[in-house]
Amino acid sequence: VPLMWEWPVQKCLNLIKETKGLELIDEAMSSGKGLILLAPHLGNWELVGLFFSSRYKMAALYSPPNMPEFEDYMIKVRGRLGSELVRGDRRGLIRLTSILREGGVAGILPDQSPRGKGNAYAPFFGMEVRTMTLVSKLIQKTGANALITYAERLPDASGFRIVVKRTEPGLGEKDPVVATTALNRSIEHCVLDIPEQYQWEYKRMRHRPPGEANPYKPDQVC
């Protein structure tokens, strides 16, 4: 992450040696609808953001860091190619909805454990975990398409491959459990391609239904 933030943009982009599935982006954009690009914590997600903001006018949703003085720096480096950084609050979500209705591209990290009421419990690798309902709500409000993407590290530090895949059916369903299950399944299919490159230390499974065991602290319940 620090290298993607501090190196010159072109040096970062030169690390991309292969692409796979970019025709899905063209297909989605040709419909005239907005596009939600889901980028889980897999491979190098900061490089994904740079790559797509170098090609499209993008907005990216972010959660404010715990250190307020770090926020300005993060916005500056992630927005080097003109990407608009949208805070994950009510005002930010209104802005994101507007961008998608105008046919724009919105980048979202879909495998975070959401705060507030915008969540449902859905299976992720066989374990019920708190999952964002934001993606399904945006699709319902804007009619946007959705795809999922990641930057895979190639062997021997030879560079990266940008991969774009279709999402699972049901992502825009009104039933929050159906929609979040489709979201988690879409992420799973990417993770299973390169499980060693997923950010397992994020503790994705720490928020489970009340009374369930905490997998990271087996002596405690959620």
Whether 182 and 167 have beta carbons less than 8 Å apart is answered as: yes
Domain at 2-221: CATH code = 3.40.1130
Give this prediction's pTM.
0.92
pLDDT at 8: 93
Q: What is the mean pLDDT of residues 75-86?
A: 81
Shortest CA distance to 132 belongs to which of 158, 151, 157, 111? 111
User: Cα(101)–Cα(26) distance, rounded to whole angstroms?
Assistant: 18
Q: Please enumerate, as own/partner, the contacts of 121-124 that have beta carbons within 8 Å and a separation of 24 or more.
A: 121/177, 121/180, 121/208, 121/209, 122/177, 122/180, 122/181, 122/183, 122/184, 123/181, 123/184, 124/184, 124/187, 124/188, 124/204, 124/205
Does the pLDDT value for residue 70 go beyond 90? no
How many CA atoms within 13 Å lie on the side-chain side of 119? 19
3-state helix, strand, coil in the chain (%, to 5): 40, 25, 35
Q: What is the mean pLDDT of residues 162-180?
A: 97
b or e along 53-79 (b: 16 or more beta carbons within 10 Å of the residue's beta carbon)? bbebebbbbbeeeeeeeeeeeebebbb
Does the pLDDT value for residue 115 go beyond 90? no
